[in-house]
Amino acid sequence: MRLHEATLLFTLFVLSLNLSAQPGYFPHLQKNGKVTQLMVDGRPYQMLAGELGNSSSSDSVYLTAIWPKLKAMHLNTVLVPVYWELVEPEEGQFNFQLIDQMIRQSRENKIKLVLLWFGSWKNSMSCYAPAWVKEDFKRFPRIKDKKGRSAEILSPFYNENLEADREAYVQLLKHIARRDKSHQVIMVQVENEIGMLPGARDYSDAANQKFNEDVPRKLIDYLVSHRNELQPHLLNLWSSQGFKTKGNWDQVFGKGLATDEVFIAWYLASYANHIAAAGQKVLPVPLYVNCALNRPGLNPGQYPSGGPLPHLIDVWKAAAPDLNLLSPDIYHGDFREWSRKYDLTNNPLFIPEIRRGAENGTQALYVLGKHHALGFSPFSIESTDNPEDYSLTQSYQLISQVQNMLDKHPQTGVWFDYSHQRDTLHFGNYKIIASHDFTLGWSPDSKLDDWPASGGIIIQTTDNEFWVIGTGLVLTFFNAENPVMNVGLLAVDEAEKKGDNWHFRRLNGDQTHQGRHVRIPSGQWMIQRVSLYDYP
């Protein structure tokens, strides 16, 4: 090799190293039309994820044994708790051995990491704070109830609490920035399920002083500039007092538990934002805060209050601009409705935690297709007994085959059970009636109320070509622009990607009901390529 050629190659190599260290090359969020995408290694990336149990990453031997199971489930990402008490067991003395092991093993197994910072709060409580914080309750004050009694929850109104948490968090991210040159860590969660219990707010001296002061100008300005876009709960509180732009919390929002919750939400969010902003300066990856969702009929204080709940999203957006997204942990209710409430123009959907169960596979298809979710992540993923039988394994395997299509083409997701059996979809000139497979009445269990969850993703790759991914689906096609025309199935193929190549098996009338519809039976997980034609 000539000298100038060697010099050129060396220069290009050094340049590539320098580029990879630039902020634009870190994992980041990027707007693509109306869709926000997570960019990893320069490409769109959807997290086919799972979250480890709260204690699974605290022991190196236990953690080592988990990776084969994660790979068997086709995960590309794992959410892993990081504990303040283990990172900083003595004040100012940091231990990152577990972090180094996570990064090394994730690289070896080709699975990315989302780190969950269990700092000041985890499920409202401060149980993951170090012993030196817990024992020094004068230096690190707790919240107080109306009677002056303390709970094991660090108060967000004292700088000592914030500064100690922030310092540990920044040192963690500095260490990752030094050690993680391949960007295995693609996102970080700041705190965990922040919320106030058993009352709606803190009644410590510092909190009471802030409550009686004027509502911060920053929040008032946000309310004024976003008045036509506010969530109904906050808008109604503000309007009930005549849209005041000056006054204390009771004067601006009225007396009551709802105002107490807005107040504590502002200061919890501000606390989290101080930590997020400091971390962004050393490791500019996307940041989020998750939320324990409230159940219907409960008052603030009876659920973890003040977190980024749907009715408080505006408060969090105003107080915490350095957080990229707010995310729901879903354990009850209609997951489709929760997903809708967090899929906002200023808040891309990510489900970092959801109850692990048989419906996870179809839920993942729905949120990734319908909401273009950044990712989906059942909790305690390593507790799965038989990965090969887990619906999420089947789902992730199919999604990984069509990932390039999801990045480029129009798509949506559907999800069905006995209570919600069909949807009407529109793609260009076509209307599609999508239904649960049991609506055909062919299954011996089709009359039971406990129909298995079914769902999938429908992708339009050309004007008359669709790809269908999922299980338990029936699709019937109609011409939306000219209803007198019939829509026929020109060809339907079962598709499977092996390596870089697609393999197709032509499906005949036995699988398409003699050309009447596209069907993926319940219990089968499949990709089908569908070509349509119109005839009078």
Tell me how long the chain is.
536
Q: Give the model's pLDDT for residue 465.
A: 97
Q: Give the model's pLDDT for residue 433.
A: 98
Q: Give the model's pLDDT for residue 536.
A: 93
Q: Give the model's pLDDT for residue 49.
A: 98
Q: How would you classify residue 462: left for phi > 0, otherwise alpha for psi between -120 and 50, otherwise beta?
A: beta
Number of folded domains that form the chain = 2
Q: Give the model's pLDDT for residue 5.
A: 52
CATH of the domain at 73: 3.20.20.80
Residues of the chain falling short of pLDDT 70: 1-24, 445-447
- Pair 261, 352 in one domain: yes
- Pair 388, 521 in one domain: no
- Pair 363, 469 in one domain: no
- Pair 446, 392 in one domain: no
- Pair 397, 430 in one domain: no
Q: What angle do CA 429, 434, 435 make, to 5 degrees?
A: 160
SS3 480: coil
459, part of any domain = yes
pTM of the model: 0.93
Domain that holds residue 316: 47-408
Q: Give the model's pLDDT for residue 4.
A: 54
- Pair 297, 423 in one domain: no
Residue found under tokens 């962004």 = 280
- Pair 80, 56 in one domain: yes
> With the C-alpha atoms ordered 387, 390, 392, 395, is the resulting torsion angle positive or negative?
positive
The DSSP call for residue 445 is T
